[in-house]
Structure 1
Amino acid sequence: MATEQEYRDLYDRVAALRQQVASRLANELTVNPQLGDALVKQLDDMLQNVEKSDQAKPAPPDGGLAQLTGLGPQAAQELGATRMPSGVEAYDETVASERVHAVGDLYYLYQHEKIGVFKVVQKLQELFQGGALRLSDGPGAFGLYKFDRRDVLRYTRKDRMAAYRRILGYGRGAGAAGSRPNTDFHTLFTHFNNQVALFWRDKRISDVIRMRAYDPSFGSIAIVRRAGLDLRNNLKFTSYGHLNVLRVEVMQLLDEAFRILGSEDVKKLFGADNAWDVVDEVLIRYFDQRLVTSPRQRMGVTGRQVMRWLAAPHILESTRAEFETLLLEIAESAEEWITSAQSLGLANRTEAERVLPWDRHRPVGVAAGADAVPRRSTRPAHSRRGGLGVYRGSGMPADRRPRTRVPR
């Protein structure tokens, strides 16, 4: 294990090497800034390899305490001869990718649940059992017969709603017993998508203003990385339990539902071209529901792609060129998710707020995402600002009260 003196000497030598390389290649770095990133990356990799090899060496039985306290034959004569650990494993590298993948699939399922896919199949099954559908022995009829035969073995709708509430924070109520709703998910997810989209908008603007621009003020990878790590760490504590089994089972249920909706006899019954047309037709005809099929479905697809990207170690990449190349995979997905969510009133584009405060005052009706319900004011009507009551203490109607300018 490295001693305290070797620990100090290592970082002093690395700092001197960085300064020497920068001074010798100053002219080349001015013309080709990407060369600086490559050099910094190589030096960082060399330093990380030294630290990893040092951590791999077995520690003494007492952890170096005898050297530090001066007891026994291994007592150190000076502080520089004592054992100096280099650190512990980084916090952001301990997230299991399979759990983030599972959350992405659950988010995909939630959007289809909000569209009403399972509700549509249940309605068709109800009409089929009541003899109200002109179906008899086709694949759709046989599928409707089998759809709930295994219902006793499946997670119920109540179980699915409890999982959405616990993991995504969507829905109402306290969720399952002993669980806590993840009310921060929607805010963090919206913030990350906004930062990814804003990063690429800034980069495109810089490319237009100055050809091959390389100003760090145009698109900060540190802000995108911080937003992504905040979201990934949030998912880390909510993706335990039966999530993996539940999302596999419900994905199978969704596939079975679309096989029924896409069968020829069911499509012919509603004059539809595909399964989605059947969903829209049933929602309009039997539920008189406003269709949000397209934006909801795209939110599910693009949101799952963004979370799949977060499950990979791309967010920890520190080199600008490599980070931009990897981030390009979800650039359009993040932009499309924001556009779809904005059309439904579930998210807003942020241009100035680059950093999301960790301890913040949440606006009313935003924390729970799609299912948030605005709170009603508990104050009497006559005391609400801008109401039609009476101006307090004057007997004057509120719409005719005097307007006074308050100094800021």
Structure 2
Amino acid sequence: MGTEKDYRDLFDRVAALREQVADRLGDQLTSNPQLGDAILKQIDGMLEQVDAAERAQPPSPDGGLAGLVGVGSDAAPDLGQTRMPRGVEAYDETVASERIIAVGDLYYLYQHERIGVFRVVQKLQELFQGGAIRLSDGPGAFGLYRFDRRDVLRYTKRDRIAAYRRILGYGKGAGAANSRPNVDFHRLFVHLNNQVALFWRDKRISDVIRARAYDPSFGSIAIVRRAGLDLRNNLKFTSYGHLNVLRVEVMQLLEEAFRILNAPDVKELFGAANAWDVVDEVLIRYFDERLVTSPRQRMGVTGRQVLRWLAAPHILESTRSEFEALLLEIAEPAEEWITSAQSLRLAERTEVERVLPWDAHRPVGVAAPVKSGPRRQAFAKRGGLGVYKGSGVPAVNGARR
């Protein structure tokens, strides 16, 4: 059982060790900063081992209270002999990875839903049943016949829309019963991709300006980590329920839809080379839609890659070199996601706002809203200060500040 004196002595010894190592290796640390990271990681590893060993020891039945208050034979002669707990499990290490992976698959499915893959198959089925297209007994025709024969065993479109609304915040309405829409997901996801893209842009600039640059100002790990942890914590409470089963079933449904669209008789009917050509042709011919197939599909692929990366414990890596090596996996997917979303006006690149406020309705650096009363309105009429109607936000010379 660790005492308060052992607790203080441990950190004093660790601090002395760090100072001694920095003093002896000062010249080498200046020319090779990675060496400092390696040394700090070893010292941190030793501290973690000590903490793990202390937590593994069972505490006394009273938790050390008798020694602290001076009751019984276990009374401590001074504060240094009392029991000192090591703390509790870190909050950010309690997220289940399988649920975040499931959210990534659901996001992938949502983008294909927005493209219109399922609507295309349903339209083909409607035309097939009405005899409006030249299909009879090929593999595509047989697949269209069987596509809705298992509807009673599947989640319906209404169930899918409710899941998108509850977990991703996309769509309209109040969401499924006894749940609320996750309206913060999109802005947190955009923020994470922006910060990953900015990190690597800063890193590339530093490599161009100075060879082997290692200045922390060129890309902040803390900002990327905060953006990732915010998104993980957001998904922690919205990924419960039937998400895992639903995404497996809908992934099977998506595979079946593409098997029909890629059938030779269906492709021949539209003069298409592949299943995506069939999707585009049906959307243009029967729905008269502006095609967003390519950016939506890339958003689904790259967004799923980013969310899968977030499900791993990489975001908690504290060593700079290792964090950069792990983050490299989603450097290009994040940049591509931002580019695709920007082309659809679903996201914007941010260069200034590095941290998102918890209060989504109050931007960083903006004061509390100013209420518009009779005296303020009279003052505004004299040209001193304008107040936007219904917003409570002050304006100067008629322009919003």
The alignment's TM-score, normalised by the length of structure 1, stands at: 0.89
Residue 40 (1) aligns with residue 40 (2): yes
C-alpha RMSD of matched pairs (Å): 1.4
User: Any idea what SS the aligned residue of 2:309 has?
Assistant: helix
Unaligned runs of 5+ in 2: 364-395
Counterparts of 1:298 and 1:8 in 2: how far apart (Å)?
53
Q: 1:362 to 1:263 in 2, by over 3 A?
A: farther
User: Any idea what SS the aligned residue of 2:175 has?
Assistant: coil
Give % identity. Answer: 81
**Match of residue 398 from structure 1:** none
User: Any idea what SS the aligned residue of 1:59 has?
Assistant: coil
**Match of residue 177 from structure 1:** 177
**Match of residue 366 from structure 1:** none
**Match of residue 253 from structure 1:** 253
Counterparts of 1:8 and 1:220 in 2: how far apart (Å)?
31
User: Any idea what SS the aligned residue of 2:144 has?
Assistant: helix
User: Any idea what SS the aligned residue of 1:349 has?
Assistant: coil
Q: 1:31 to 1:89 in 2, by over 3 A?
A: same
Q: After superposition, what is the alpha-carbon deviation per residue over 1:204-243, rounded to whole angstroms, capped at 9, x for unaligned? A: 0000000111111000111000100000111100000000
Counterparts of 1:177 and 1:352 in 2: how far apart (Å)?
39
What code does the residue aligned with 1:72 have?
G
**Match of residue 100 from structure 1:** 100
**Match of residue 391 from structure 1:** none
1:103 CA drift (Å): 0.1
Counterparts of 1:129 and 1:260 in 2: how far apart (Å)?
15
**Match of residue 213 from structure 1:** 213
**Match of residue 144 from structure 1:** 144
Matched ranges for 1:278-357 at <5 A: 278-357=278-357
Counterparts of 1:406 and 1:288 in 2: how far apart (Å)?
41
**Match of residue 367 from structure 1:** none
**Match of residue 395 from structure 1:** none
**Match of residue 377 from structure 1:** none
What code does the residue aligned with 1:254 have?
L
**Match of residue 61 from structure 1:** 61
User: Any idea what SS the aligned residue of 2:75 has?
Assistant: coil
Counterparts of 1:273 and 1:156 in 2: how far apart (Å)?
30
1:358 CA drift (Å): 1.3
The alignment's TM-score, normalised by the length of structure 2, stands at: 0.90
Counterparts of 1:84 and 1:59 in 2: how far apart (Å)?
10
1:360 CA drift (Å): 2.8
1:101 CA drift (Å): 0.3
**Match of residue 238 from structure 2:** 238
**Match of residue 86 from structure 2:** 86
Q: Which moved more, 1:233-242 or 1:349-358?
A: 349-358
Counterparts of 1:407 and 1:318 in 2: how far apart (Å)?
42
Counterparts of 2:145 and 2:44 in 1: how far apart (Å)?
62
User: Any idea what SS the aligned residue of 1:22 has?
Assistant: helix
1:172 CA drift (Å): 0.1
Q: 1:346 to 1:407 in 2, by over 3 A?
A: closer
1:73 CA drift (Å): 1.1
What code does the residue aligned with 2:45 have?
D
Counterparts of 1:21 and 1:183 in 2: how far apart (Å)?
49
Counterparts of 2:39 and 2:400 in 1: how far apart (Å)?
54
1:407 CA drift (Å): 12
1:352 CA drift (Å): 1.1
What code does the residue aligned with 1:342 have?
Q
Q: 1:58 to 1:135 in 2, by over 3 A?
A: same
Q: 1:254 to 1:188 in 2, by over 3 A?
A: same
What code does the residue aligned with 1:134 have?
R
**Match of residue 266 from structure 1:** 266
Counterparts of 1:154 and 1:32 in 2: how far apart (Å)?
59
What code does the residue aligned with 1:167 have?
I
What code does the residue aligned with 1:39 have?
I
1:405 CA drift (Å): 7.8
**Match of residue 370 from structure 2:** none
What code does the residue aligned with 1:172 have?
K
Q: 1:193 to 1:406 in 2, by over 3 A?
A: closer
Q: After superposition, what is the alpha-carbon deviation per residue over 1:7-39, rounded to whole angstroms, capped at 9, x for unaligned? A: 010001101110111011111111111111111
Counterparts of 2:399 and 2:232 in 1: how far apart (Å)?
44
